[in-house]
Amino acid sequence: MTTGTDDRPVAIVAGGSTGIGASVARRLDREGYRVVVVGAKSVDEGNAVAAELDGATFLQADLSDAGAPAQVVAHVESAHGRLDALVYAAGRTARIPHPDIHAVTDDVWEPILRLNVLGPWHFVQAAEPLLRKSGNGNVVVVGALAGVDVGGSSIPYAVSKAAVHHMCKLLGGALGPEIRVNAVAPGFIETRWTADWDDFRAQITEKAPLRRTGHPDEVAELVVGLMRATYVTGQVVVADGGLSLLP
């Protein structure tokens, strides 16, 4: 075990190479965490994010592989001897109009469910002992507005987010008092993933009460806010510019 004299709290940010996850990693660094950035494909970006931060590292891991979270947690325990927070911001979707149900094959469903639902489940299973040992463990999962209301890029994506929201509620009830589990449910956020979603962007800027889309830093602030909110667990907090207020 290599801990040195650095007693700062440690956070894993899964899916931390780009988008919301990268913003969360930077925000946690400013909060005084040592951050372990985890990503699968965006290796250069992940290393670049880690290089910006104080004492951060990047680990490449395919989070759709059931064994990968345990390997990440084992590395964190060996390197740091503790884990205080887990933020799961990895995700996958497919853009398929909802009425086109015959385009949704098992080959569409399975990778979305593996990464969006089983990924955070396996991570919580692996991280639970270290998070519990910290005495104030935090889990925040990035869900989606599509898992709260009817909408989203496809039915499998929306179902996966609804499932992970409910999972967070159940885990919030199961893992207290040492571990709190919450989810954020962003609406349209400007990331590389949504760069060419011009039709969705136009609808939101026209209809949402705040008349704009969201930005990753705004979601990161909400994640940190939930981590600070010590009397909150098992909750799903929506950040959608007010879009879900519409009838």
Digit-coded pLDDT (tens) for 10-63 = 999 999 999 999 999 999 999 999 999 999 988 999 999 999 999 999 999 999
Largest CA distance in the chain: 57
> Does 67 have pLDDT greater than 80?
yes
Q: Which of 33, 88, 157, 231 is catalytic?
A: 157
Domains of the chain: 10-240 (3.40.50.720)
| C-alpha span between 78 and 74 (Å, rounded) | 6
8-state DSSP, 192: G
What pLDDT is stored for residue 3 in this prediction? 44
Sign of torsion over alpha carbons 199, 201, 204, 205: negative
In the predicted model, is pLDDT for residue 4 greater than 90? Answer: no
Question: Strand pairing partners for 179?
Answer: 137
- In the block, tokens 């919580």 appear at 124
User: Tell me, what's the pLDDT at 5?
Assistant: 65
Residue 59 tokens read as: 């680990």
Q: Provide, rounded to the nearest whole percent, the portion of the chain with pLDDT above 70.
A: 98
As a whole number, mean pLDDT of residues 173-197 equals 93
Mean predicted confidence (pLDDT) in 97-125: 97
In this structure, the chain runs to a length of: 247
The answer, yes or no, to whether residue 171 has pLDDT greater than 90, is yes
Q: Quote the pLDDT of residue 41.
A: 86
Res. 1: pLDDT tops 70: no
The per-residue pLDDT for 97 is 95
Say which residue, 175 or 200, is predicted with more confidence: 175
Q: Is 90 exceeded by the pLDDT of residue 6?
A: no
State the pLDDT at residue 195. Answer: 87
Determine contact, residues 159/183, Cβ cutoff 8 Å: no
User: Which of 23, 18, 31 is closest to 84 using CA atoms?
Assistant: 31
Q: What is the pLDDT of residues 221-237, one digit of tens each?
A: 999 999 999 999 999 99
The letter for the amino acid at 118 is L
88 included as an active-site residue: no
User: Mean pLDDT over all residues of the chain?
Assistant: 94
- Whole-model pTM: value is 0.94
